[in-house]
Amino acid sequence: MGMDNYYAVILAGGKGERFWPYSTSKRPKQLLSLVGGKPMLALAVERLEGLIPPERVLVITNADLVEASCKAAPDIPKENIIGEPMGRDTAAAIALGGALVKARNAEGAFCVLTADHIIGDLDIFRETLKQSLEMASNENVLITIGITPGGPSTGYGYIEAGDKKSEDAGIAFFKAKRFVEKPDLETAKKYVEAGNFYWNSGMFTWSVKSVEAAFAAHRPVLKDLMDKLGTVAWTPEFDKTVAEEYPKLEKISIDYALMEKADNILMVQGTFAWDDVGSWPALDRHLPQDEDGNTVLGTCEEIDSAGNIVMSEDRLTALIGVKDLIVVHAEGATLICPRNKAQNVKKMVHKLRDAGTYDEVL
Nearest CA to 103 out of 240, 258, 207, 227 is that of: 227
User: Residues 236, 310: one domain?
Assistant: no
Q: 8 is in which domain, residue-wise?
A: 3-275
CA 256, CA 75: separation in Å to the nearest integer?
Answer: 33
DSSP designation for 279? S
Distances 180 to 148, 225, 333, 349 between C-alpha atoms, Å: 15, 28, 38, 28
Helices 220-232, 238-245: axis angle to 10 degrees equals 160
Using an 8 Å Cβ cutoff, are 177 and 161 in contact? yes
pLDDT, residue 359, reads 61
Predicted local distance difference test score (pLDDT) of residue 360:
57
Amino acid at 251: K
How many CB atoms neighbour CB 340 within 10 A? 10
Q: Mark whether 211 and 335 lie in a shared domain.
A: no
pLDDT at 277: 84
pLDDT digits (tens, 9 = 90+) for 175-210: 999 999 999 999 999 999 999 999 999 999 999 999
End-to-end CA distance of the chain: 49
Residues 107 and 146 in one domain: yes
Same domain, 182 and 202: yes
**Structural domain total, the chain:** 2
> Which SS3 state, helix, strand or coil, does residue 16 take?
coil
Contacts made by residues 288-293, CB under 8 angstroms, sequence distance 24+: none
What CATH number is associated with residue 172? 3.90.550.10
Three-point CA angle 30, 256, 228, nearest 5°: 80
Q: Over its length of 362 residues, how does the chain's per-residue pLDDT go in tens digits?
A: 568 999 999 999 877 788 999 988 888 999 998 888 899 999 999 999 999 999 999 999 999 999 999 999 999 999 999 999 999 999 999 999 999 999 999 999 999 999 989 999 999 999 999 999 999 999 999 999 999 999 999 889 999 999 999 999 999 999 999 999 999 999 999 999 999 999 999 999 999 999 999 999 999 999 999 999 999 999 999 999 999 999 999 999 999 999 999 999 999 999 999 998 888 998 988 999 999 999 999 999 999 999 999 999 889 999 999 999 999 998 889 999 999 999 899 999 999 989 887 765 55
Last residue of a domain, one of 250, 275, 300: 275
**What is the per-residue pLDDT for 361?**
58
**105 and 215 both lie in a single domain:** yes
Q: Verify that 127 and 202 share a domain, yes or no.
A: yes
If asked whether residues 165 and 183 sit together in one domain, one would say yes
- In angstroms, the CA 111 to CA 198 distance is 19
Boundary (domain end) residue, out of 259, 275, 291: 275
